[in-house]
Amino acid sequence: MIQLVECVPNISEGRDLKVIDALTKVVQDVEGVAILDRHIDSDHHRSVFTIAGFPDVTIRAAYELVRLAQELIDLSQHDGGHPRVGAVDVIPFIPLHGMTMEECKRLAEKLGAMIGPLLEIPVFLYGEASVQRPKLQLEAIRAGGQGGLSKRLASEGGWHPAFGPTQLHPTSGAIAIGARDFLIAYNVVLESNDLILAQRIAKTIRTSDGGLPSLKAMGVALTSREQVQVSMNLTNYRETSMYDAYRAVEQVAKRYGVGIDESELVGLVPQAAISSEHIETLKFRAWKPDQVLEARLAQVGFA
């Protein structure tokens, strides 16, 4: 059986298209790998690549991406609305055809064992790839940004990377590599520039504060548009769908007399997670059928 894995690197660069194009090319130059989607956000100062390929070559493409990002991105000069600790901030592996979560965990470990010593970047394994109990989660790594992580490495005995040095790289920071199921990154833009309101809505609806299950959320300022956004991760779309998340944001926003301008999908979504009857309701900025994962896999010959 042919094995395919999905890999979704989050890169701390959303403004310099030359850098983003160079990172795109280094992935495209690896045979057996395809970029399914590339989402660029100048306000978040972040780009998200959705990659699919055969396991061994996907690891090689991910390594080359991190290696080139180390040359091109200086995180000490970075500012943006999204939390981050690395030039390439996070790389999750997601099982597709013929892959198990256990095999994705081994891919994460293999990539980490390359990046840590060869590029001298501390590597943290998170999610299903974490060997810690309880499992290390991405938000714990990012807490307090680079400064917070650096302090934990220096002062807390339980904090140490799985691979690489025990201090942050001066320009590349650290990197989180993991294995997980499908995650839907979904944003709702408000008809408002009130960041406190967006943060209040995020706090109301997210799991950690008693809201919807399997939902992470934060308020983000979209400086270029003079608006704010509720930025969400749906970690289990079977428990909380994009429709559920949209309605939750809408309900809280209405209490403050604020409407929804539009919503946005970051990356791709499994066919099972999107209903055609909800596409118009969700006010997508620009919905395209090839935002469905299975459709893109077919387009690049991986179906």
Token pair for 180: 């997980």
Q: Which of 50, 43, 45 is nearest to 14 (CA)?
A: 45
- Report yes or no: 27 and 61 within 8 Å, Cβ to Cβ: yes
User: What radius of gyration do the chain's Cα atoms show?
Assistant: 19
Query: Which one-letter amino acid corresponds to residue 235?
Result: T
Rounded CA gap, 57 and 31, in Å? 7
Rounded CA gap, 265 and 20, in Å? 19
Rounded CA gap, 61 and 23, in Å? 10
Distance from the Cα of residue 176 to its chain's centroid:
11
Give the C-alpha distances (Å, rounded to integers) separating 176 from 116, 144, 186, 234.
11, 15, 21, 19
Rounded CA gap, 221 and 229, in Å? 6
Q: Tell me whether residue 39 is one of the annotated catalytic residues.
A: no
Annotated catalytic residue, options 39, 44, 45, 82: 82
Per DSSP bridges, beta strands 215-222 and 123-127 are unpaired
The residues annotated as belonging to the active site are 82
